[in-house]
Structures are given as structure tokens and as C-alpha cells.
Amino acid sequence: MAERPHTRGVGVRRPLLGITSVVGLFLLWCLLTITGVVDPARFPGPSDVWHAALQLSGPGYAGGTLFWQIWYSSRLVALGFLFAATTGVPLGVLMGVNPRAEAFINPTFLLVRPIPPLAWIPLAILWFGLGDIAKIFVIWFAAFVPALINSYTGVRTVDPTLIAAARVHGASRLQILFEVMVPGALPLVFTGLRLSLQASWTTLVAAELVGAFFGLGRVLIIAAQDIYPGMIAYAMAWVAVLGAAMTAALAVVEKRSMPWRTT
């Protein structure tokens, strides 16, 4: 596409546009709330959010301070995610390399898969009550599926030529598995883990919204009941930030574990 030289400003212009739009939106937000165009009881202004921030960081809200709520939520996500990763990835790999295992497990999987993870929440509550175990179970379920599917696909899409080369070198089945198939599947495995992590986080917030003792989701629902829009917005912001942070952290792990990748 035509590019005109002499637009040296291009490199600067682009982030500038982005920042301008963010700043513009912020100003619009202030304007709307200060002039009272939007109902302050339903739509928070910047000062409301600030007030909520102070409260949550300081004396706390809905049972704890910001740190406590984040810690509580993150702990559950971490546990659920780890269970899912340690069960989903190996099972996916197994199904990928062993057609009999795949054929056996497939029907169960096909039947269960269309049911959204969030739909398991009421059942989990019936089984385990309102405590942590129910949450971890649902998170595990939500994270398990993408991990499994992507590990399976990852193993199946390993270049057959590489496997042939390994066999030519006399590698045993186990060696092929660990030295060729697993590393070859890693990129997709990580895609699966990324989806798992996002699913974990989303599911946790949902579970906490439905019924919990602590956590960011609980903060959200209590704030809704108290009609405290500033706190709602503040908690939502933290949900977004933590989600992004976890994804970024995983990306770092991904990069480190695959030094041979250029992308």
C-alpha cells in the first residue's frame, strides 16, 4: 500500500492517537458525571471510583481489604488452574498419541463439552456447598477443556517428518513422545493454557458472584446490593488488570520454555 515518505512523525503519531482517545474518553466521563447527565446513583464518576479505591485499600469492603480479596481470588484461580493443567495436558497428550484412549474418552467428552462451565456452578454448590471446593471444582472444569483440546491438537499436528526422523535414529516410543511430540506440541499447549487461565479467571468471578464469602466477585455483588457504583467500577477494573497480568505472566513462562521459537 502506498506509503508516503517524509512522514517521519508516523512512529510518534500512532501511540499519540491512542492516548488522545483514552484521554478524550476520560474527559467525556468527567463531563457526563459532573453535569449530572447520568444518574450518579447508577453510574459512577471518577471521584466515586477514587472514593471506592480508598475504601477498599484502607478499611476494606465486603469482608476484607483489596489485598485480601485479590489474594483470596488469585489463590483459588491458581489452584484450579494448576489442577486443570496437570490433568488436562497429560490426558490430551495421551489422547493424541493413543487412538484407543481417544476413542474411549471421546464420547464422554463430546457429551460434556457443550455445557458451559458456568452452568456447573449450581451443581457444584449442591455438591460442595458455598465454600472453596465448589469454586475450585468449577474452575478446574472450565480450565480443563481448553487445556485438553489444545494439547491433543498440538500433539496431532506435530510434523510427521520429524517423527519419522526420530524413528530412523532408533528412538523408542517413550523417547519420541518426550523428545519430539511434547516439545513440538508446546506452542499449542501454551495456547490451551492461556485459554485455560482466562477461563479460570472468568469462572471464578462468576462463581464468586453467585455465592462466596470472599473475593473480588463477592465485592462486586455486595457493591451491587449496596448500590455503590464506584466500588463496582473499581472492582471491575481490578478484574481486568488481574486477568491481563496473569496472561502476561503466562506469556513470559511461554517464552522461556521455548527458546527455539522466533515468534
Partner 1 sequence: MAHDLTLSANTRPRRWSAPLALWPYSLAGFVALFAFWFAVAHSGLMPARVLPGPDAVVAAFFRLIREPFAGFTLQQHLLSSTIRFAFGFLIAAAVGVPLGLLMGRFRWVDDIVSLVFEALRFVAPIAWVPFAALWFGTGIGGPILIIFSGAFPPCVINAYRGARLVEPRLIEAAQTLGASQWRIITEILIPGAVPAIIAGLRIGAGLGWQSLIGAELIVVSSGIGYVIVQGQSNLATPIVMAGMVAIGIVGFVIDVLLRAFEHWVLRKRSGA
Partner 2 sequence: MSAISFLDVVRSFDRVGDRPIVALDRISLTVAEREFVAIVGPSGCGKTTLLRLAAGLDFPTTGRVLVGEREVRAPGPDRAVVFQQFALFPWKTVRENIGFGLKCRGMSARDREVPVEHYIEVMGLGGHEDSYPHQLSGGMQQRVAIARSYVLEPDVLLMDEPFGSLDAQTRIEMQEELIRLARFSPRTVLFITHSVEEAVYLADRVVVMSRRPGRIREVVEVAGLRRDEAWQDRPIEEVLDRESFIHLRSYIWKLLRDRQGDHGAIDQLEPKRTVSSVR
In the range 4-33, which residues lie near partner 2 by CB under 8 A?
4-6, 8, 11
- Tell me, rounded to whole angstroms, the distance of Cα 120 from its chain centroid: 18
Least distance to partner 2, CB of residue 3, Å: 7
C-beta of 4 vs 173, nearer to partner 2: 4
Contact between 2 and partner 2 by CB under 8 A: the answer reads yes
Least distance to partner 1, CB of residue 236, Å: 5
In the range 44-73, which residues lie near partner 2 by CB under 8 A?
none
Residues β-bridged to residue 61: 64
C-beta of 95 vs 136, nearer to partner 1: 95
Least distance to partner 1, CB of residue 68, Å: 19
Contact between 111 and partner 2 by CB under 8 A: the answer reads no
Q: What are the DSSP calls for 5-67, one per residue?
A: TT-TTHHHHHHHHHHHHHHHHHHHHHHHHHTT-S-TTTS--HHHHHHHHHHHHTT-BTTB-HH
Least distance to partner 1, CB of residue 193, Å: 17
Euclidean distance between CA atoms 176 and 107, whole angstroms: 28
User: Can you state the angle between helices 46-57 and 10-34, rounded to 10 degrees?
Assistant: 90
Query: 8 touches which of partner 2, partner 1, none (CB within 5 to 8 A by kind)?
Result: partner 2
Question: 3-class SS at 136?
Answer: helix
Least distance to partner 2, CB of residue 14, Å: 14
Residue 101 grid cell = 484412549
Contacting positions for partner 2 (CB under 8 A): 1-6, 8, 11
